[in-house]
Amino acid sequence: MIIPYLNKARLLYVFSILCFGALSVSAQEVRPFKNGDRVVFMGNSITDGGHYHSYIWLYYMTHFPGMRIRVFNAGIGGDVARQMLERIDSEVFAKKPTVMTLTFGMNDTGYQYLPAAQADSTYRVKTAECLKYFKLITGTLKMHPEIKKIMIASSPYDETSKIKTAPLLKKNTALLAIAAEQRKTAVENNWGFVDFNTGMTAINQREQQRDSTFTMEGTDRIHPTNDGQMVMAYIFLNAQGLSGKKVAGIQINSSKGAIEKTENCVVSALVNNKGDLKFTYLANSLPYPLDTIPGGFGRPGKSQAEALKLIPFTADYNQELLMIKGLKPDGRYDLRIDNKSIGQWSSTEYAAGINLALITGTPQYQQALAVMHLNEERWEIERRLREYYWVQYSILKPKGLLYNDSEATVDSLQKYAKKDFFVAVTMPTYQKARFKDVRDAWQKEMDLLIDEIYRINKPVAHHFEITLSN
């Protein structure tokens, strides 16, 4: 097929359309979570230290405030499929999930620098070993029909970014071979399937046409920074069919003094005083707050909010539209919510619609921010526990010392830490977490935070005033 010439801007536009199409494709249905669900995300370090599951939960916390679910991080850094099989009882089934996800492959395919001629044969061997254990995992999962399963194709290994770290040739091709088997297994068993790899690779390659050093996978080409983690959450929510659900929508005709349309909210007590409007607004959802603090594996890290440059999250998930027609032509109108000045817009802008979800000063966004910060506190505590379990499964279990938290074990770990950077940075947490009373206290603190989140995440009624300012 001959492709006609496209200028660069047009090519990027077409690529973007293809990319966002890829973000929405799933081999199998992934149903939205429902009230009471207990969801366990099992994976390697990308899950262990990642935010995507927390960002997904934050969407449910804000968009479905009356739907209480529980999300668990069951990632262990460095894990391969064999290790996930070994810990699936204690890390997944013991939590009595109603839903679980499974992602693997990054570590299974290894980290060997190989000439292109040797890469294919080496990766075939490693992939076959990985899939042997995936088949055993599949057999174990079939024994738990009460749990909905979702296979997740790993986020990509970025081979194409022009960063200093030399790429491992054909590693992502091996990841895609594993993903193909995950998809096949999902189809055969009527499980869900979500593909992180294809959509994220498309975004990387699109952005690298503008900046050859762009990557969502950090300086090691492996671990997504927080913008990449938000893209992963976006892909997952798309697979659940949640795109297009507004936070809320208000459409008022000022000249008629009429409420013409509402979406996901109730508008009442409308008063039209010579074109100035007052009404009460109660939404069913809160806007989705995005953290602006850089973080994640990358150095430097990127913020969750930077993902907005990469995906149409605002258009698809964060629309709280205030639309008012019939205002005085060429007039400028102040908006006050609960007697607080929010901003000033022209009648033309009001007629087109103002997205309140992007205005951080609204009372409803401030309420959502509190939810976000409590969720981050919960994430931080859970990370401490994940560090403890990393020591258990990655360091102690191979030595026959699983859950042996004696003083002798501490001494051995301190000696080992002198030659292992990862053990060294984890030791301060482990020395606290080895005491069950400490772990129990952390768990209680998380439970309290979750209770508080579901107490404060309920939308409240707000008083709107829209008055002519000129």
CA distance 12 to 63: 32
Write down all domains in the chain, each with its CATH number in brackets.
Answer: 8-239 (3.40.50.1110), 248-366+463-468 (no CATH), 367-456 (no CATH)
Residues 231 and 199: beta-carbon distance below 8 Å: yes
| pLDDT score recorded for residue 14 | 41
Q: pLDDT, tens digit, for every residue of 82-95? A: 999 999 999 999 99
- The 10s digit of each residue's pLDDT in 360-370 is 999 999 999 99
For range 12-38, the mean pLDDT: 66
- The predicted model scores a pTM of 0.94
Question: Does residue 24 register a pLDDT over 60?
Answer: no
Cα dihedral: 315, 316, 318, 319 (round 10): 60
Report the range of poorest mean pLDDT among 27-36, 139-148, 255-264: 27-36
Contacts of 358 (CB under 8 A, 6+ apart): 314, 318
Distance between CA atoms of residues 470 and 349, nearest Å: 15
Place of tokens 């850089």: 294
pLDDT at position 115: 85
Q: Which residue has the higher pLDDT, 239 or 11?
A: 239
Identify the weakest region by mean pLDDT among 25-39, 64-78, 168-182, 430-444: 25-39
Rg, Å, the chain Cα set: 25
pLDDT tens readout for residues 374-412: 999 999 999 999 999 999 999 999 999 999 999 999 999
Say whether the peptide bond before residue 300 is cis (omega within 30 degrees of 0).
Answer: yes
Average pLDDT of the chain to the nearest whole number: 93
Q: What is the pLDDT of residue 298?
A: 58
pLDDT digit string (tens) for 287-328? 999 999 887 775 567 999 999 999 999 999 999 999 999 999
Q: In whole angstroms, what is the distance from residue 385 CA to residue 438 CA?
A: 10
CA separation, residue 253 to residues 262, 264, 283, 326, 420 (Å)? 12, 18, 19, 6, 67
C-alpha 192/C-alpha 152 separation (Å) is 8
Q: How far apart are CA 162 and CA 207, in angstroms?
A: 12
Rounded average pLDDT over 204-224: 96
Q: What pLDDT score does 23 carry? A: 58
